[in-house]
Amino acid sequence: MKNKILMVPVALLMMIATISGALAADWTTGVSYSIGDVVTYQGTDYECVQSHTSQAGWTPTAVPALWQVYVSSGDPFVNGDEWQAGVSYAVGDEVTYEEQLYVVRQAHTSQADWLPSVVLALYKPVVVSSQVTYLPPESNYDASTYIGMSRADMIEFMDFSYVDSEVKDEYLEYSWNYLHPQLSGSEIQWLYKPISIRLYYTDIEKCLYSYTEQQCINGLVLGTTTISYTDENNQTTSVTSVLDKAQTNAYNAIDYALGLQTDLQSSLSTGAFQPTSMGFTLE
């Protein structure tokens, strides 16, 4: 009987705790909040992540260092789950947002306005395709953000990734894709663009006359073995591998992206996007 009596208040306390979490008090100024406190602001629940006394300008939406969107405890995150705010994501986690898969680039706790399609610095879209694929308009970067990217940032962000190899009638086609920037008005629009390299069957046959199959794979595809031919004039020509050609194309794409930074910086400094007059005079 004693056990039964004790179980009632315990269950009641658990119920009260659940209800109090769901019906959080409204955020107000002049209150000393502790880590873990939950408040409601503009219809959304927020959890305190740093102890402080609230002030007029420190609303939960204005100071993410103090507040994060509250998510009640539930099932643990599983790769491929739908993205939601208030979740601690690790590098490499996979989330789905609007039917698009993303991989987390940087560890962080998600916030309501850090949508995967918007904050590409945190989320990398997974696009396995040898076709041009445009990202949604909200993925566009403003000029200042794009100009501020270093070369290392650019290389990591552009995300050169191997896609696949396909058997065609006259050649094998090896494909990579990467995030390609292009100017759209005064913003940078991102799209996945393929790098496609062809290896013709005639070149494979020619290689097999003089080299083993493994040597041809290493030389024609991977570039780890030197494949060369000597013509009737005693001139030696070395073959450039598929991988080396793709890497050259990738470096060219990086140079283009950095050149676009320079062009954009020049355009902004000269006011190219801020015309003083759109009129003309006919004489």
Range of the domain at 86: 77-126
Question: Residue 21 pLDDT > 60, yes or no?
Answer: no
Average pLDDT for 69-86: 70
Domain count across the chain: 1
Q: What are phi and psi of 58, to 5 degrees?
A: -100, 50
Q: Mind giving me the DSSP string for 11-33?
A: HHHHHHHHHHHHTPEEP-TT-EE
Residue 250 lies in a domain: no
The CATH number of whichever domain residue 84 belongs to comes to 2.10.10.20
Question: Residue 271 pLDDT > 90, yes or no?
Answer: no
Q: What is the pLDDT of residue 25?
A: 80
Residue 228 lies in a domain: no
Question: Residue 257 pLDDT > 90, yes or no?
Answer: yes
Residue 90 lies in a domain: yes
Q: What is the pLDDT of residue 67?
A: 85
Q: What is the pLDDT of residue 70?
A: 73
Residue 172 lies in a domain: no
Do the Cβ atoms of 171 and 200 come closer than 8 Å? yes
Interval 178-222: pLDDT, tens: 999 999 888 999 999 999 999 999 999 999 999 999 999 999 999
Can you give the pTM of this predicted structure? 0.65
Q: What is the pLDDT of residue 277?
A: 60
Segment of 43-47, 101-105, 264-268, 269-273 carrying the highest mean pLDDT: 101-105
Lowest mean pLDDT among 3-17, 46-60, 94-108: 3-17
Question: Residue 273 pLDDT > 60, yes or no?
Answer: no
Residue 108 lies in a domain: yes
Interval 218-244: pLDDT, tens: 999 999 999 999 888 888 999 999 999
Do the Cβ atoms of 77 and 60 come closer than 8 Å? no
Interval 116-147: pLDDT, tens: 999 999 999 988 888 899 999 999 999 889 99
Residue 158 lies in a domain: no
Report the alpha-carbon distance of residue 81 to residue 84 in Å, rounded.
9
Report the alpha-carbon distance of residue 91 to residue 235 in Å, rounded.
51
Do the Cβ atoms of 102 and 96 come closer than 8 Å? yes
Residue 101 lies in a domain: yes
Q: What is the pLDDT of residue 116?
A: 93
Helices 242-269 and 151-158 sit at what angle, rounded to 10 degrees? 120
Q: What is the pLDDT of residue 274?
A: 56
Q: What is the pLDDT of residue 135?
A: 92
Residues 6+ apart with CB under 8 A from 140: 184, 187, 188, 189, 190
Instruction: Catalogue the E-assigned strands of the chain.
Output: 25-26, 32-33, 38-41, 44-48, 52-53, 67-69, 88-89, 94-97, 100-104, 108-109, 123-125, 133-134, 141-142, 161-167, 171-184, 187-200, 228-230, 236-238
Report the alpha-carbon distance of residue 106 to residue 274 in Å, rounded.
36
The better pLDDT of the pair 20, 221 is held by: 221
**Pair type for strands 141-142 and 108-109:** unpaired
